[in-house]
Amino acid sequence: MANKKTFKLSDCLVFFDFDNTVTSFDTLDDIIQRFAINEGWKTLEDAWLAKRIGSRECLKGQLALVRISKRKLCKYLKKIRISPYFSRILALLNKKNVKVTILSDNFEFIIKYILDNNGIKGIGLKANRVKFRGERLITSFPYVNKECRYCGHCKTKNLPNSGLAGKLIIYIGDGDSDFCPAKKSGLVLAKGNLLRYFRAKGLACVPYKDLKGIYQYFKEINDSER
């Protein structure tokens, strides 16, 4: 596991989870809870937490219960604000020509709308897909791993080899869908379930609280390079 003294930012590729990492709460969970026609989503959530089903089956079932038009969803998404520290992180990394990508088990349309509405451009994104049919949401999962049905989006498949062009892979996340890609990364910034998982497994990581903490971490590295 790398530390701040053994690498330069210019030698890195950075990957962010989205919900509870870039955002301060789980936007997808909130959409499901607000706009589902009944509480059947809870049964699916319990089955997923008990690992009886994977997140693809869980999300497909939960989104099938949601009733909201594209216009109304956009109206809801407009209210979601991302901390200005995320833009500061991106600006700092951009100066070092560091490529930043979001890997999420959320849906591309939702994430793109939130990012655009917060003035965040030029960032890579890999996520699940959704189309609108009236007030119904039709889901698809282009990055599923057929050999492992736990995640709707196999983030590890979208994570390059750690030795790619000598780049250090930095992964930043908080939840269960981050376990596998984090273990494949050279440096991990973790909170929530991801932090608890790494500590339980005796794996090294850098704890963080919020985007301000992530910004300060990268800034310290940047300042040490001067």
pLDDT, average across residues 51-62 = 94
Is residue 72 within 8 A of residue 199, CB to CB? The reply is no
94-127, pLDDT tens digit by residue? Answer: 999 999 999 999 999 999 999 999 999 989 999 9
Is residue 55 included in any domain, yes or no?
Answer: yes
CATH of the domain at 63: 3.40.50.1000
Measured in degrees and rounded to the nearest 5, phi and psi for residue 80 equal -85, 125
For residue 226, pLDDT over 80 is answered with no
Burial string for 112-147 (b: 16+ CB within 10 Å, else e) reads bbbbeebebeebeebbbebeeeeeebebebebbbee
Is residue 48 included in any domain, yes or no?
Answer: yes
What pLDDT shows up at residue 192? 97
Is residue 4 included in any domain, yes or no?
Answer: no
For residue 4, pLDDT over 60 is answered with no
Is residue 82 within 8 A of residue 114, CB to CB? The reply is yes
5-48, pLDDT tens digit by residue? Answer: 578 999 999 999 999 999 999 999 999 999 999 999 999 999 99
138-177, pLDDT tens digit by residue? Answer: 999 999 998 887 899 999 999 986 556 678 999 999 999 9
Considering its fold, how many domains does the chain have in total? Answer: 1
Is residue 137 included in any domain, yes or no?
Answer: yes
200-214, pLDDT tens digit by residue? Answer: 999 999 999 999 999
Is residue 196 included in any domain, yes or no?
Answer: yes
Is residue 64 included in any domain, yes or no?
Answer: yes
What pLDDT shows up at residue 224? 86
Is residue 106 within 8 A of residue 113, CB to CB? The reply is no
Burial string for 1-22 (b: 16+ CB within 10 Å, else e) reads ebeeeebebeebbbbbbbbbbb
pLDDT band at 1 (very low <50, low <70, confident <90, very high): very low
**In the numeric block, which tokens belong to residue 183?**
């273990």
pTM, 2 dp: 0.94
- Domain that includes residue 218, residue range: 9-224
Is residue 1 included in any domain, yes or no?
Answer: no
What pLDDT shows up at residue 220? 94
